[in-house]
């Protein structure tokens, strides 16, 4: 018994040592005033496999992957130590709450049921936060939710790609004297669309979820952007591409950031999706909507497609030729060392 207790105390002490070190490795980003939402602990990259901590404004989310994190890891027990470490972030970023999101190794076993903690307003440590809060990222503001199921409304790894989209749209408008037409597929809560619209673009956001599109419209409102000036389409992406072709719609920039997997729904006409099987077809179909010289931003977090050269091969397969590549920003500093988990390429189709 004493041996087991000693091992447990050693593990807790180890996390309390690892987290401050992880924070210091990200100190330049934390102090940069670039964002109020960032990853502060990255699993095995920071010394503890399967455990990730994201700071989202006044609250933090501790993500724990079953079967990867140590079997003895006690998120609730660790939360107070995490809160203590995050309270000293500085720059007005000290978190006041720590929430827990456990990710099952096999979600199909959950039968659609979510762990109670992912929807509980009461955090593992700290004070309960409002249902939603606003966080600043670059020159825009986005709505996040700390206990809204397994998601928060914001993919932090795409922060610099959103900034790239805003810069690209601004340069396009200067060059052409007209706003860029941007199609954001698998739009989720429309972060890419907001970034583009703040630079004057006319955006179309496509997602099968009406709930997330409504969230996206709120994100437009949070940035004094009139959602009525933009299109929000509750459709499967391939369905929208077919619709757009029939209507003769053309876009200057298309954003492709699909999930790794998505279940189909025959009644709603939604096809099952697999990035490994379908990415090349997605690229090929999206390219048919581009204006001359139009650009595609293709991204994935599917591990198989993140292997060196694999995403490029899917792009060439989908297009039937090698496109002209464009330079994207490096992976954000808070995700340094996680290159095998994310891949993105931007290219012009001429």
User: Tell me, what's the pLDDT at 343?
Assistant: 93
Q: CATH number of the domain at 156-348, please?
A: 3.40.50.150
Contacts of 18 (CB under 8 A, 6+ apart): 41, 46, 47, 48
pLDDT tens digits for range 289-337 = 999 999 999 999 999 999 999 999 999 999 999 999 999 999 999 998 8
Using pLDDT thresholds of 50, 70 and 90, give the confidence band for residue 10.
Answer: very low
CA 270 vs CA 163, 224, 236, 264, 285: distances in Å: 31, 33, 6, 5, 16
Residue 200: is its pLDDT beyond 80?
yes
How far is the C-alpha of 156 from the C-alpha of 30, rounded, in Å? 14
Would you mind telling me the total number of residues written for the chain in this entry? 350
pLDDT tens digits for range 47-61 = 999 999 999 999 999
Closest CA to 301 of 342, 258, 331, 345: 342
Q: DSSP state, 330?
A: P
User: Tell me, what's the pLDDT at 2?
Assistant: 40
Averaged pLDDT of the chain: 91
Question: Does domain 2-144 correspond to CATH entry 1.10.8.10?
Answer: no
Residue 234: is its pLDDT beyond 90?
yes
Q: What residue ranges do the domains of the chain occupy?
A: 2-144, 156-348
User: Tell me, what's the pLDDT at 7?
Assistant: 44
Residue 66: is its pLDDT beyond 70?
yes
Q: What percent of the chain has pLDDT over 70?
A: 91
pLDDT tens digits for range 247-284 = 999 999 999 999 998 776 666 666 777 899 999 999 99
- Under a CB-based contact definition with an 8 Å cutoff, are residues 350 and 319 in contact? no
Max Cα separation, the chain? 73
User: Tell me, what's the pLDDT at 3?
Assistant: 42
Residue 339: is its pLDDT beyond 50?
yes
């Amino acid at each position: 018994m004493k041996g087991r207790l000693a091992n447990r105390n050693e593990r807790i002490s180890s996390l309390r040592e690892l987290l401050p070190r992880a924070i210091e490795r990200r100190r330049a980003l934390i102090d940069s005033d670039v964002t109020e939402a960032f990853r502060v602990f990255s699993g095995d990259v920071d010394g503890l496999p399967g455990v990730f901590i994201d700071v989202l404004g006044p609250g933090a989310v501790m993500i724990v992957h079953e079967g990867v994190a140590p079997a003895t890891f006690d998120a609730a027990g660790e939360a107070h130590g995490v809160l203590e470490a995050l309270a000293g972030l500085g720059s007005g970023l000290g978190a006041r709450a720590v929430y827990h999101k456990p990710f099952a190794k096999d979600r199909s076993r959950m039968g659609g049921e979510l762990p109670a903690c992912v929807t509980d307003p009461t955090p593992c440590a700290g004070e309960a936060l409002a249902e939603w809060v606003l966080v600043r990222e670059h020159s825009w503001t986005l709505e996040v939710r700390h206990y809204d199921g397994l998601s928060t409304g914001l993919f932090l790894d795409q922060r610099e790609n959103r900034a790239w989209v805003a810069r690209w749209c601004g340069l396009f408008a200067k060059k052409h004297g007209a706003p860029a037409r941007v199609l954001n597929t698998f739009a989720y809560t429309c972060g890419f669309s907001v970034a583009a619209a703040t630079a004057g673009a006319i955006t179309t956001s496509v997602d099968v979820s009406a709930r997330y599109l409504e969230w996206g419209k709120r994100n437009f409102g949070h940035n004094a952007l009139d959602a009525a000036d933009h299109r929000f389409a509750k459709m499967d992406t391939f369905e929208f591409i077919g619709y757009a072709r029939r209507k003769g719609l053309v876009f200057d920039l298309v954003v492709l950031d699909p999930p790794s997997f998505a279940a189909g729904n025959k009644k709603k006409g939604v096809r099952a999706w697999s990035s490994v099987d379908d990415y090349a077809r997605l690229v090929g179909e999206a390219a048919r909507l581009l204006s001359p010289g139009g650009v595609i931003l293709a991204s994935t977090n599917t591990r198989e497609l993140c292997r060196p050269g694999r995403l490029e091969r899917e792009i060439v397969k989908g297009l039937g030729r090698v496109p002209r590549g464009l330079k994207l920003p490096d992976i954000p500093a808070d995700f340094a060392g996680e290159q095998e988990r994310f891949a993105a390429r931007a290219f012009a189709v001429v």
